[in-house]
Structure 1
């Protein structure tokens, strides 16, 4: 893939830009194989799952710079000035198509872009997510409640200009700190969730819910886990760090008990709604439960007879951590499916779980043009 921004030195976020894609994918798989070699003796490695090289990002997190009259969407340079990336080639084209109207909306609303060095201004970020259907969720990240009225007053104009907009919100982020968003979210549209078809199910995504940015690869990831569970004949499953229910809903089958555990009550509420929409029969719904709790505390607080046939774990980049890895080592089930966005922390967790060996593994290229990836492994107790 060729990128004018990268060639001009304006953006280096995609560190592998310009490298042949086949070379990128091979290097990612080699890296994961090398890290997992001590724990995967005799493992079956499935072919890596390739992504589209461009237009794969279903979520764009754009820093707003420039001025009210001439705003930029992109990143900040070393001096904290806006670098415009409104034609970024890795973003879904349906998001790019909405950018001209969103830029015009900033001017109409009088939202002054936040000046990081001067610590003044109002609008920090625009966060746009697209569903497979083409529906969009648009979030304005602003510093104060004062901006909400202006956004609301121009909402009809905005939705007329971008008919695909289903959800529009204002997120309040008053602090001067390097985080994307604040805690307070005002939903300004009738709809508060974006329905996203991922793999075989519709996920319901609220503004602050985590969702994988590469929808096609996320679907492949969830299908892989479901296939392994079917082959194992698992009748009971825990999905720890379940988010909005991607793994749990894909693994739900007649007669199978599934429990999803996620710290975010907001994500759990979304997962429950998606479950209810997916299964018409009350008996089917009852076999799939979602619990708002810390994954480690949930596992450590369980009784021996409650341990399921398989535990799915999909932790953040830092990995499972010592307490959960030790619980799996001493009390976990015969099989674990571990999905990881960080092969280094995956290897560290496997070292703390010598009672398991990797029997199957696969690399999925969630983030082309960068070194980031997703790896899914099937672990079996030795």
Structure 2
């Protein structure tokens, strides 16, 4: 992939860009296999490769510059704005929204926030694209002061972007480089963006997490569904479930499915999808580890999709002692995956596949099926 920002040294986020994509994937898989070498019987599927460009469904843009000349992108080492509206990672449908959104900053007089000077209002612009081409736009502000102006000019923006479905304001008052705050004000009738993956329309609320590569996320859930079907459990938990991707893709008649997610917004999103699809799948907000270890019994299969720190010794130990006969582990960090596997010696990894969720970087997703020996 060619990128003039990378070539000019303006943006080095894609720090593996100089390697051919095939070499990137091979290096990632080699690294993961090395970490999982203590389990030599793992059957590895061929890695799932991403497109080189246009794969991101979400833009996280720092807003800098001025009201008259806003800059959407990142800040360089000296704190100056770098315009990344033409970043090749964004699909055309997403990139086309940046022009009207830039003009909206001027129309609504949204002063870009200056971290060093502690002045201004608009910190970030977060834009998500659904597979159907609809958009969710979020303005991250220091306070509610610009809210009335955003509401006033929102009809103009909807004329320019008829695909805009959800618009919201997030309030992040701290003078820190924190992406978002706790308070969210939705400005549209629609509360969720529908992410259609393999016939499952996952509802995404403004503060819900979703994988940034839609095609690879689809492949991830498709593989999970296939492996779960082989195990054929009558009961399943989806821990760290997010918006319910694994739980909802793996639901089946006669199978009791329950998801637990720390984010209340994400749990509500998952429940909305389950109700829309008529699935008997339940969700609740809570700490996945604390919830699981408080249960008297385990289901037949447990899906875990933790953050980079992994599931940790407490949950790994509980799973090892439980009567669950299988675990499906989706990991973005094979270092912690290997550590957690070592803590569950009777749950042996049987199959694994690497998915190139984040091309041009050292990051990835790896899905592993564990069976009780």
Q: TM-score range by the shorter chain?
A: over 0.9
Is this contact kept in 1: 2:312–2:340, CA < 8 A?
Answer: yes
Q: Per-residue displacement from partner, 1:27-57 (whole Å, max 9, x unpaired)?
A: 111111011111x221110000011110111
RMSD between aligned alpha carbons?
Answer: 1.0
Alignment correspondent of 1:298: 291
Is this contact kept in 1: 2:300–2:323, CA < 8 A?
Answer: no
Residues 365-376 of structure 1 correspond to what in structure 2 (within 5 A)? 365-376=356-367
Q: Helix, strand or coil: the match of 1:154?
A: helix
Q: Where in structure 1 are there 5+ consecutive unaligned residues?
A: 280-284
Separation in structure 1 between the aligned mates of residue 235 and residue 117 of structure 2, nearest angstrom: 55
Alignment correspondent of 1:235: 234
The alignment's TM-score, normalised by the length of structure 1, stands at: 0.96
Deviation at 1:200, TM superposition (A): 3.0
Alignment correspondent of 1:4: 4
Q: Helix, strand or coil: the match of 2:37?
A: helix
Alignment correspondent of 1:133: 132
Alignment correspondent of 1:166: 165
The alignment's TM-score, normalised by the length of structure 2, stands at: 0.98
Q: Helix, strand or coil: the match of 1:88?
A: coil
Residues 73-222 of structure 1 correspond to what in structure 2 (within 5 A)? 73-222=72-221
Separation in structure 1 between the aligned mates of residue 336 and residue 91 of structure 2, nearest angstrom: 30
Q: Per-residue displacement from partner, 1:143-196 (whole Å, max 9, x unpaired)?
A: 111111110010000110111111111111111112101111111111111011
Deviation at 1:141, TM superposition (A): 0.6
Deviation at 1:18, TM superposition (A): 2.6
Q: Helix, strand or coil: the match of 1:37?
A: coil
Q: Does the alignment pair 1:313 with 2:304?
A: yes
Alignment correspondent of 2:253: 254
Q: Helix, strand or coil: the match of 1:347?
A: helix
Q: Helix, strand or coil: the match of 1:158?
A: helix
Separation in structure 2 between the aligned mates of residue 108 and residue 302 of structure 1, nearest angstrom: 54
Deviation at 1:332, TM superposition (A): 4.7
Separation in structure 1 between the aligned mates of residue 362 and residue 43 of structure 2, nearest angstrom: 23
Is this contact kept in 2: 1:140–1:171, CA < 8 A?
Answer: yes
Alignment correspondent of 1:350: 341
Alignment correspondent of 1:282: none
Q: Helix, strand or coil: the match of 1:268?
A: helix
Deviation at 1:268, TM superposition (A): 1.4
Separation in structure 1 between the aligned mates of residue 292 and residue 117 of structure 2, nearest angstrom: 47
Is this contact kept in 2: 1:137–1:167, CA < 8 A?
Answer: yes
Alignment correspondent of 1:43: 42
Q: Per-residue displacement from partner, 1:301-324 (whole Å, max 9, x unpaired)?
A: 1113xx111100000111101110
Is this contact kept in 2: 1:41–1:358, CA < 8 A?
Answer: no
Deviation at 1:92, TM superposition (A): 2.2
Alignment correspondent of 1:18: 18
Is this contact kept in 1: 2:115–2:176, CA < 8 A?
Answer: no
Separation in structure 1 between the aligned mates of residue 22 and residue 315 of structure 2, nearest angstrom: 36
Q: Per-residue displacement from partner, 1:40-92 (whole Å, max 9, x unpaired)?
A: 22111000001111011101100001111111111111121211111000112
Q: Per-residue displacement from partner, 1:287-342 (whole Å, max 9, x unpaired)?
A: x11122211111111113xx111100000111101110111111151210000011
Separation in structure 1 between the aligned mates of residue 343 and residue 199 of structure 2, nearest angstrom: 34
Separation in structure 1 between the aligned mates of residue 90 and residue 30 of structure 2, nearest angstrom: 27
Alignment correspondent of 2:244: 245
Q: Helix, strand or coil: the match of 1:329?
A: helix
Write out the 4+ residue segments of structure 1 that deviate beyond 4 Å after TM superposition. none
Is this contact kept in 2: 1:195–1:204, CA < 8 A?
Answer: yes
